[in-house]
Amino acid sequence: MTQKETVRRILQFIRVYRIQVVLSLILAAVSVFLSLYIPILFGDMIDCIVSPQHVNWSLMGINGRRIFVLIIGYAVSTWTMNVINNHIAYQVVKDMRDQVMEKIQCLPLSYLDQRETGDLVQRVIGDIDQISDGLLLGFTQLFTGVLTIFATLVFMLVKSVLITIFVVVCTPLSFAVARFIASRSYRMFRLQTQTRGRQTGLIDEMIGHQKVVQAFDHQDRASAAFASLNDELHAYSWRAVFYSSLTNPCTRFVNGIIYAGVLVFGARQILAHALTIGGLSVLLNYSNQYMKPFNDISSVISELQNALACAARVFELLDARPESTDPAAELSDVKGDIAVCDVNFSYDRNKPLLRHINVHANAGRKIALVGPTGCGKTTLINLLMRFYDVDAGSIRIDGMDIRDVSRASLRRSFGMVLQETWIRQGTVRENITLGKPDAADEEIYAAARAAHSYEFIRRLPDGLDTVLYADSLSQGQKQLLCITRVMLVHPPMLILDEATSSIDTRTEVLVQKAFDALMKGRTAFVVAHRLSTIQNADWILVMKDGQIIEQGTHASLLAEHGFYAQLYNSQFQA
User: What sign does the dihedral 137-294-9-319 (CA atoms) show?
Assistant: negative
Select the residue interacting with other proteins from 4, 211, 351, 459 (CB under 8 A).
211
The window from 141-149, 209-217, 455-463, 514-522 that contacts other proteins (CB under 8 A) reads 209-217
Select the residue interacting with other proteins from 512, 538, 547, 549 (CB under 8 A).
512
**Torsion-angle region of residue 275: left (phi > 0), alpha (psi -120 to 50) or beta?**
beta
Select the residue interacting with other proteins from 331, 528, 548, 557 (CB under 8 A).
528
| 556 belongs to the binding site for other proteins (CB under 8 A) | no
Residues 330-349 that bind other proteins (CB under 8 A): none
Q: Which is nearer to other proteins, 26 or 76 (CB)?
A: 76
DSSP assignment letter at 141: I
| 325 belongs to the binding site for other proteins (CB under 8 A) | no
Q: Which of 148, 145, 144 is nearest to 28 (CA)?
A: 144
122 Cβ partners below 8 Å, 6+ apart? none
State how far the Cα of 370 lies from the Cα of 376, in Å rounded to an integer. Answer: 10
444: helix, coil or strand?
Answer: helix
| 201 belongs to the binding site for other proteins (CB under 8 A) | yes
State how far the Cα of 214 lies from the Cα of 53, in Å rounded to an integer. Answer: 86
| 150 belongs to the binding site for other proteins (CB under 8 A) | no
State how far the Cα of 281 lies from the Cα of 447, in Å rounded to an integer. Answer: 82
**Torsion-angle region of residue 381: left (phi > 0), alpha (psi -120 to 50) or beta?**
alpha
Residues 272-291 that bind other proteins (CB under 8 A): 277, 280-281, 284-285
Question: Which H or E element spans position 396?
Answer: strand 392-397
| 121 belongs to the binding site for other proteins (CB under 8 A) | yes
Q: How far is CA 484 from the centre of its chain?
A: 32
Q: Which is nearer to other proteins, 362 or 553 (CB)?
A: 553
Select the residue interacting with other proteins from 16, 26, 72, 440 (CB under 8 A).
72
Residues 170-199 that bind other proteins (CB under 8 A): none
Let me know: does 488 contact 457? Beta carbons within 8 Å.
Answer: no
Select the residue interacting with other proteins from 62, 270, 339, 517 (CB under 8 A).
270
Q: Which is nearer to other proteins, 78 or 160 (CB)?
A: 78
CB of 69 to other proteins, least distance (A): 11
Residues 391-450 that bind other proteins (CB under 8 A): 407-408, 411-412, 414, 416, 418, 422, 424-425, 434-435, 437
Select the residue interacting with other proteins from 362, 502, 547, 553 (CB under 8 A).
502
Select the residue interacting with other proteins from 8, 18, 268, 520 (CB under 8 A).
268
Burial classification of residue 467, based on how many CB atoms lie within 10 Å of its CB (0-12 exposed, 13-18 middle, 19 or more buried)? middle
Select the residue interacting with other proteins from 75, 158, 168, 329 (CB under 8 A).
75
